[in-house]
Amino acid sequence: MLVDLAGWEQRPSCLTTMAYELCSAVFENYSSLVDGRQLLFLSLQIGFRHLDPKNPQIPTKLTHTEYHQKMVDIIFESGGEDTIADLLHAWTSHSDSHKPPPSLSKCVGHLIGLQPSSQRLRQLIIRSVGLISRQEFGEVDAGEFCQWLNRLHVSVKDMDMEGRWVNLLTHIFHRPEGVQHLSQPYWELLAELSLSGSLQPQRVTWNPDITTDLEHGQEVGKLECWMVVVWMLWPPETGITTEEDLEHVSLSLFRQQPSSVWKLGQRLVERWSEERPEGVPESFRQTWNKARLEWLSGLNCK
């Protein structure tokens, strides 16, 4: 099978479309091709290797066929990092990136445990995780999934769909395995997103069990991050939680880690001052003042 690429480099969208259609044709005739695997890898390389992995869109609309779905095992088991990245680029970077092809969910079992050495593949794995529905990860061992995420070291700058990552992280935090296994940087990540205004209260659900699990596990650093999220999204004024609930947890945190009185207070007060015309919620002001008085009283007793 010969492919004439003359002039196609001047029309990158046509080149991508042609190469992706060729992938389908190759797999349709895969059993009769002597060099089918190499031709499949080459087609993906031609179509996607030249594209920027940081750009969530490609300049064309791809048609996904049943043969494209069947490529997953061969690509992940026989292809190198570049070829895997080519496939993930095809399935995550298109004109409607919030609706990936169903084929992407077939990659879940292959993605878990994959440790990329190239920044290109890492970027595309992170985008894939953000696009795959959290239900698809429900079949994966939660502890193993958390350990894998820990090794990916995802940050805000790696994301191009923050809301979907928020949904995934909060889903994990609602599980005991998430409290136990997901590293503190992810809790800090969610706190950072809440302070940036990227989170909306209706996107996540208040769950007092999370604070209870963190308290029992003496996860003070994670609890501090979680309280940022709680106070930003569910202050008592919303009616979703109660002042007594938050006062109890906040004071418990402040007593375990007195530095949180100042650090947590400063982060929240600065954000509220920027965003809320009415300023700091009275419920937090009262709790914060009570914690400061306790802290000062403790100093005077020494």
Per-residue pLDDT of the chain (302 residues; tens, 9 = 90+): 444 444 444 455 788 889 999 999 999 898 888 888 999 999 999 999 988 888 777 777 888 888 988 899 999 998 899 999 999 999 988 645 556 777 788 888 899 989 999 999 999 999 999 888 777 777 788 888 999 999 999 998 888 878 788 878 888 888 888 888 999 999 999 888 887 766 665 555 667 788 888 878 788 888 888 888 887 777 666 666 666 677 777 777 777 777 776 777 777 777 777 766 566 777 777 777 777 777 667 655 55
Q: How far is CA 127 from CA 116, 193, 272, in A?
A: 14, 17, 31
Tokens found for residue 47:
């179509």
CA distance 197 to 72: 37
pLDDT of residue 258: 72
**Tokens 């970077």 -> residue:** 93
pLDDT of residue 2: 43
Quickly count: other Cβ atoms within 10 Å of residue 210's Cβ.
22
Tokens found for residue 2:
């010969």
Q: Choose among 217, 216, 231: nearest CA to 291.
A: 231
pLDDT of residue 38: 92
Q: What angle do CA 281, 195, 251 make, to 5 degrees?
A: 50
Q: Which residues have CB under 8 Å from 101's CB, separation 6+?
A: 64, 68, 69, 91
Tokens found for residue 262:
């100042």
Q: Which residues have CB under 8 Å from 246's CB, separation 6+?
A: 230, 231, 235, 236, 283, 284, 287
3-state helix, strand, coil split of the chain in percent (to 5) is 70, 0, 30
pLDDT of residue 4: 47
Question: Residue 142 is which amino acid?
Answer: A
pTM, whole model, 2 decimals?
0.81
Long-range Cβ pairs for the range 79-85 (8 Å, 24+): 79/41, 81/116, 81/117, 81/118, 81/120, 81/121, 82/45, 82/49, 82/118, 82/120, 82/121, 83/41, 83/44, 83/45, 84/114, 84/121, 85/48, 85/53, 85/118, 85/120, 85/121, 85/124
Q: Please, are residues 104 and 91 in contact by the beta-carbon 8 Å criterion?
A: yes
Q: Which residues have CB under 8 Å from 56's CB, separation 6+?
A: 92, 93, 97, 127, 160, 161
pLDDT of residue 200: 63
Q: How far is CA 53 from CA 11, 58, 128, 162, 204, in A?
A: 19, 10, 12, 17, 29
Q: Choose among 230, 199, 198: nearest CA to 214.
A: 230
When computed from its CA atoms, the radius of gyration of the chain, rounded to whole angstroms, is 24
Q: Please, are residues 128 and 92 in contact by the beta-carbon 8 Å criterion?
A: yes
Judging by beta carbons within 10 Å of its beta carbon (0-12, 13-18, 19+), is residue 69 exposed, middle or buried?
Answer: middle
Q: Please, are residues 208 and 214 in contact by the beta-carbon 8 Å criterion?
A: no
